[in-house]
Structure 1
Amino acid sequence: MAKRKPTILSTETIYPTASIVFQADADILDFSGHFNNFPILPGVTQIDWALHFAVELLKTPSAFKGMEVIKFQEPILPDSTLCLSLSWDEEKQKLTFKYSSTREQDDIIHSSGKMKLGAPSE
């Protein structure tokens, strides 16, 4: 079976926020073919993972209803160690996410965004 999720190193959940530290392993299927000589983690995968972990850790609704803001600032490379920060606004039904890492003592923001969630039947 193809590997689709990262290796989780740690999680911390203090509702309505969560923080996941993980390894974006080079053998994750999504790296293959995106791009052949310079693999990066696709944006759609980053959105998928944010939703997946929000449902798992924050018990958010599971249906994606759209993006409000999204910025891809720095590519996520194979075998990177990252932190995914999640914040759930239940009243507005909005999830805020940010992928970040540290490189040579500098904080790097890879991507961030806000997505609208809801029940699958809405």
Structure 2
Amino acid sequence: MEQRKPTITNVVVEDNQATLTMKVDASILDFRGHFTHFPLLPGVSQIDWALFYAIEHLNTPPLFKGMEVIKFQEPILPNATVELSLVWDDEKQKLAFKYSSQAADRLVVHSSGKMKLGE
């Protein structure tokens, strides 16, 4: 079976927030063809994973209703270890997400955004 999701190494869930530490394995199918000489994790994969893990760990509604804000700042490369932060606002039915990692003494934000969800 083809690998579509990262290897999760840690999960912390508190109320309406979840933080997942993951290894973005080089064997993930989404790296193929994106791009041949410089593979990076597609933005659509990052959005898909944020929604998938929000449903799994925060019990958010499963229906994607659109993006409100999204920024792709630094590529996520094969075998990177990243942290996915999820915050669910039940009243507004909005999920905020952020992918980040540590590089030496600084925090690198790879991408962030907000999506509208519903039933």
Residue 58 of structure 1 corresponds to which residue in structure 2?
A: 58
Could you tell me how far apart the structure 2 residues matched to 1:15 and 1:62 are? Answer: 18
Could you tell me how far apart the structure 2 residues matched to 1:9 and 1:105 are? Answer: 22
Give the secondary structure class of the aligned counterpart of 1:78: coil
Residue 89 of structure 2 corresponds to which residue in structure 1?
A: 89
* Residue identity opposite 2:116 in structure 1: K
* Residue identity opposite 2:58 in structure 1: L
Is residue 117 of structure 1 aligned with residue 117 of structure 2? yes
TM-score by length of 2: 0.99
| Pairs aligned (count) | 119
Could you tell me how far apart the structure 1 residues matched to 2:110 and 2:29 are? Answer: 20
User: How far did residue 105 of structure 1 move?
Assistant: 1.7
Provide structure 1 residue ranges, at least 5 long, that are not aligned to the other structure.
Answer: none
Could you tell me how far apart the structure 2 residues matched to 1:57 and 1:15 are? Answer: 10
Cα root mean square deviation, aligned: 0.4
Residue pairs, 1:15-34, within 5 angstroms:
15-34=15-34
Aligned residues: percent identity? 61
Write out the 4+ residue segments of structure 1 that deviate beyond 3 Å after TM superposition.
Answer: none
Residue 75 of structure 1 corresponds to which residue in structure 2?
A: 75
Could you tell me how far apart the structure 2 residues matched to 1:3 and 1:105 are? Answer: 32
User: How far did residue 46 of structure 1 move?
Assistant: 0.1
Residue 49 of structure 1 corresponds to which residue in structure 2?
A: 49
Is residue 99 of structure 1 aligned with residue 114 of structure 2? no
After superposition, what is the alpha-carbon deviation per residue over 1:73-112, rounded to whole angstroms, capped at 9, x for unaligned?
0000000000000000000000000000001121000000
Could you tell me how far apart the structure 2 residues matched to 1:117 and 1:36 are? Answer: 34
After superposition, what is the alpha-carbon deviation per residue over 1:26-83, rounded to whole angstroms, capped at 9, x for unaligned?
0000011000000000000000000000000000001100000000000000000000
Give the secondary structure class of the aligned counterpart of 1:30: helix
* Residue identity opposite 2:46 in structure 1: Q
Provide structure 2 residue ranges, at least 5 long, that are not aligned to the other structure.
Answer: none
